[in-house]
Amino acid sequence: MPDPAEIIVFAAEPLDRASGARTDPEWLATRLADPASLIIPLYRGDPLIREGKAAFLAADARREFDAGATVVFLGLKGPRAYFAIDASGAPGPGQAPFADLGAYTPLREAAGALSGEDIAVIGAARWLIDWHRRHAHCAHCGAKTEMKDGGARRLCQQCGTEHFPRTDPVAIVLAVHDDACLLARGPRFPPGFLSALAGFVEACETPEACAVRELKEEAGVALTNVRYQFSQPWPFPSSLMMGFIADAKDKELKLDEKEIVEARWMSRDEIRRLLAGERREDVRLPPRFTIARRLIERWAAD
C-alpha cells in the first residue's frame, strides 16, 4: 500500500513544525530575519502562484505588505524556515503585493496543479491565517486574544484562556454492496457530480458512529463493518476528512431530499471505466485531489 501522504492532497508533511522551538519569540524573530527564510503570500486564502509553482518569497518581502498583516510560522525544512503572510489587506488580488510576479490563484485550482509538498504547506497557511482572522476575541470572556508560538496558539490577555487552531472532524464513507458502491450528490452540486457521503462528527461521537448515522439519515442505508482507510486535512476552512469504506445491508435507498438530491449504486466495472477515462454525461467522479476520489479508487482496485 502506498503511503497515503504520497497520494492525498494536503496530507504530505514536508515541514518540521518545530513545536518546541516556535514557543520562543526570539528564535522566531531570528528565523524571520534570516535571509534564507521563505514566505508565501495568500490573498483571502488563495496562494500566489508563479509558473505553476508556489511563489515563495524571501522573508524580507514582508515589508511590502501592510504593517499589521498576519504572519504565521509554518515549519522548517532543514535549516530553512517557512512563513506565510496574509495579503488580504489589499483591495483585490490584482492589487496585492507581488501580484505582478504571477497570480493569487483559487486554492481548489492550485490543489490540482501544485506539487504535494507545496500544496500541503499552503493548506496549513490558509488554515492558520483564516483561523487567526476569525478568532481575534476570546470565546470565554470576549477580550482580545494574542497570537503565540508563531501562530500555533492564541492567548487571551484578560482571562488567560488558551485557544488552538480549530479542526472539524468529518466522516466520509463509501458504502458498498454486491460489487457496487453508493455515490450521491447534495443540492449544491450540479447534476451528475456524484461523490461519497459525508457529515460532521457531532459531540462525543466517534467518526465510525458518524458514518453509520449519516448514511442512515441521508440515504436510509444501514451500514456494518465500517473500515477506516485514510484521512485528509481539508482547509475549506478547517475540516479533517476521515475516510471509510463500509458494507451496506442492502441496496434500498430512502433519501433525505434536503441533503441528497441524487443517489445511485454504481458497479465496480462502471467505476473502473470512469477511472480509466470514460466520459459520461450523467456521472462525474470527484476530482483527483479529493479523498472521495481516493476512496473510490481504493475500492475499485480491490
Binding site for Zn ion (CB under 5 A): 138, 140-141, 143, 156, 158-159, 161
Residue with smaller CB distance to Zn ion, 156 or 226: 156
How far apart, in whole angstroms, are the C-alpha atoms of residue 249 and residue 175?
Answer: 10
- Alpha-carbon dihedral angle through residues 223, 226, 232, 236, given to the nearest 10 degrees: 30
69/147 with CB nearer Zn ion: 147
As measured in angstroms, the least distance from the Cβ of 127 to Zn ion is 23
> Which one, 29 or 136, has the nearer CB to Zn ion?
136
Which residue, 58 or 141, has its beta carbon nearer to Zn ion? 141
Nearer to Zn ion, 161 or 238 (CB): 161
How many Å separate Cα 169 from the centre of its chain? 11
Strands 46-50, 38-43: pairing is antiparallel
Q: How near is the Cβ of 142 to Zn ion at its closest, in Å?
A: 7
In order of 6, 128, 210, 252, 270, the CA distances from 217 in angstroms are 33, 33, 10, 13, 27
Q: State in angstroms the smallest separation of the CB of 277 from Zn ion.
A: 55
For the CB of residue 140, give the shortest distance to Zn ion in the complex, in Å.
4
Least CB distance to Zn ion at residue 159 (A)? 3
Residue 221 and residue 88: Cα distance in Å, rounded?
Answer: 44
CB of 166 to Zn ion, least distance (A): 16
Specify the pairing of strand 103-104 against strand 57-58.
Answer: unpaired
Pairing of strands 162-163, 168-177: unpaired
Neighbouring CB atoms inside 10 A of 119's CB total: 24
- Given the C-alpha cell 456524484, which residue does it identify? 194
Q: Which is nearer to Zn ion, 138 or 198 (CB)?
A: 138
Question: Angle, to 10 degrees, between the axis of helix 268-275 and the axis of helix 291-301?
Answer: 120
Q: What is the rounded CA–CA span in Å between residue 276 and residue 281?
A: 16
